[in-house]
Amino acid sequence: MTDSTHITLTAPPTVNMALVVGAGDCLLHIIEEAFDARITVRGDSVVLEGDPVEVQSLMALFSELFKFVEGGGTPDQGFIQHALDLLRTAEFTPSMLREDILLTYRGRAIRPKTAGQKHYVDAIRKNTITFGIGPAGTGKTYLAMAMAVAALKRKEVGRIILTRPVVEAGENLGFLPGSLNEKVDPYIRPLYDALFDMTDMERAQQLIESNVIEIAPLAFMRGRTLNDSFVILDEAQNTTPEQMKMFLTRLGFGSKMVITGDITQLDLPRGVSGLKGIEDILGDIEGVSFCRFSGKDVVRHSLVAAIVSAYDRAQADAMQKKGSNGRSNQL
């Protein structure tokens, strides 16, 4: 006979159980579908019965839900799904995300939300160079920016350097109107947006004017040595191998580098991406870490995750058909 565990959890008086189970018990239904154990909610009590391992996981999940709601949060389907993904990853628990606050700005805490994001921020803490590779909406640049701002506030680094390759989409910069800064600004504007989202705009402008925070095209990095800096290279899939080597060799003493990109969103007009195959070159070097994100780490609108998954399936189908056609031609 299989061992069975029976446990009753009682929510604190300040917890609204309607938020825990969701409208029409929608959140409870998601949890029930993920486990074989029996879950019964009566008033402020949650009764768990079933396999001891599953009951233990459910205890952790509901305890986290109680704390989240008690702290003023409103869980949704994304929150539950991310929590379930964490429970399937033995090295992480949902509480790790809640406790890992990277930065607080205007009463809002910026923290990792998925197991992939938690692994990423831990890698940045431990390594000198970290690569964050994966689809849009996974927080690669945003979390790196939060880590950089936090490091600057703690005086762990003396400046932040944010850079992107300038890839011309059908127009030559030389023929666009305006000064060089005006021509380049649209390419690096997303970096400004992320920065202003986590620090006071006036203060950020002062830091930019005093060169404590520098936002510049990748070409401006050539010939420099970047000491005492937190350096972020965004949209790294649009670098050439030569540009990637140039950037990485700018590393100076007391500095940290984060390189982010999505190899599936390539804008290079010709040639090979410097991000492609980089792990084969640098994967064995101590102090260099590679973090790969998937659709499970998408924290934007739920449709973004669905779109990423759809493209992944289409790409897999295309590769399978290509392989089948290749075999047919050989017959």
CATH of domain 113-300: 3.40.50.300
Task: Give the best-scoring range by mean pLDDT among 171-175, 178-182, 277-281.
Answer: 277-281
**Using CA atoms, how far apart are residues 65 and 71, in angstroms rounded to an integer?**
10
Domains 5-97 and 113-300 share a fold: no
Residue 307, pLDDT > 90, answer no
Type of residue at 125: R
Q: Is the pTM of this model over 0.85?
A: no
Residue 137, pLDDT score: 83
Q: What is the pLDDT of residues 225-235, one digit of tens each?
A: 999 999 999 99
Residue 14, pLDDT score: 92
Residue 175, pLDDT > 60, answer no
Backbone phi, then psi, for 227, in 5-degree steps?
-95, 155
**Mean pLDDT value across residues 49-58:** 84
Type of residue at 265: Q
Higher per-residue pLDDT: 189 or 2? 189
Q: What is the pLDDT of residues 5-15, one digit of tens each?
A: 888 999 999 99
The set of residues, in sequence order, having a beta carbon less than 8 Å from that of 219 and lying 6+ positions away, is 165, 166
Residue 253, pLDDT > 90, answer yes
Type of residue at 72: G
Q: What is the pLDDT of residues 282-297, one digit of tens each?
A: 999 999 999 998 877 7
Token pair 């003493």: residue? 253
185's enclosing H/E stretch is: helix 180-196
**Mean pLDDT value across residues 199-212:** 89
pLDDT bucket at 302, cuts 50 / 70 / 90: low
> Of the CATH numbers 3.30.1370.10, 3.40.50.1000, 3.30.420.40, 3.40.190.10, which one belongs to the domain with range 5-97?
3.30.1370.10
Residue 185, pLDDT > 80, answer no
CB 151 within 8 A of CB 230: yes
Q: Sheet harboring 45-50: ordered strands across?
A: 5-10, 45-50, 38-42
Residue 105, pLDDT > 90, answer no
**Mean pLDDT value across residues 57-76:** 88
Backbone phi, then psi, for 224, in 5-degree steps?
-100, 160
Higher per-residue pLDDT: 206 or 321? 206
pLDDT bucket at 4, cuts 50 / 70 / 90: confident
For residue 262, the tally of other CB atoms under 10 A from its CB is 21
Lowest mean pLDDT across 33-47, 107-121, 200-214, 277-291? 107-121
Type of residue at 270: R
Residue 266, pLDDT score: 85
DSSP state of 75: -
**Mean pLDDT value across residues 255-271:** 88
Residue 102, pLDDT score: 85
Residue 170, pLDDT score: 38
Query: Helix or strand or coil: residue 197?
Result: coil
**Mean pLDDT value across residues 91-111:** 74
**Using CA atoms, how far apart are residues 228 and 158, in angstroms rounded to an integer?**
6
Q: What is the pLDDT of residues 116-172, one digit of tens each?
A: 888 899 999 999 999 999 988 888 999 999 999 999 999 999 999 999 887 644 334
**Mean pLDDT value across residues 14-25:** 92
**Mean pLDDT value across residues 305-312:** 76
Give helix 52-70 / helix 77-88 axis angle, nearest 10°. 140
**Using CA atoms, how far apart are residues 206 and 190, in angstroms rounded to an integer?**
19
Domain range annotation of the chain: 5-97, 113-300
Residue 91, pLDDT > 80, answer no
Reading phi first (left if > 0) and then psi (alpha if -120 to 50, else beta), residue 147 is in alpha
pLDDT bucket at 199, cuts 50 / 70 / 90: confident
Which among 58, 51, 62 is positioned nearest to 22, based on CA atoms?
A: 62
Which among 71, 20, 57 is positioned nearest to 41, based on CA atoms?
A: 20
pLDDT bucket at 173, cuts 50 / 70 / 90: very low
**Mean pLDDT value across residues 231-254:** 94
Average pLDDT over the chain, rounded to an integer: 84
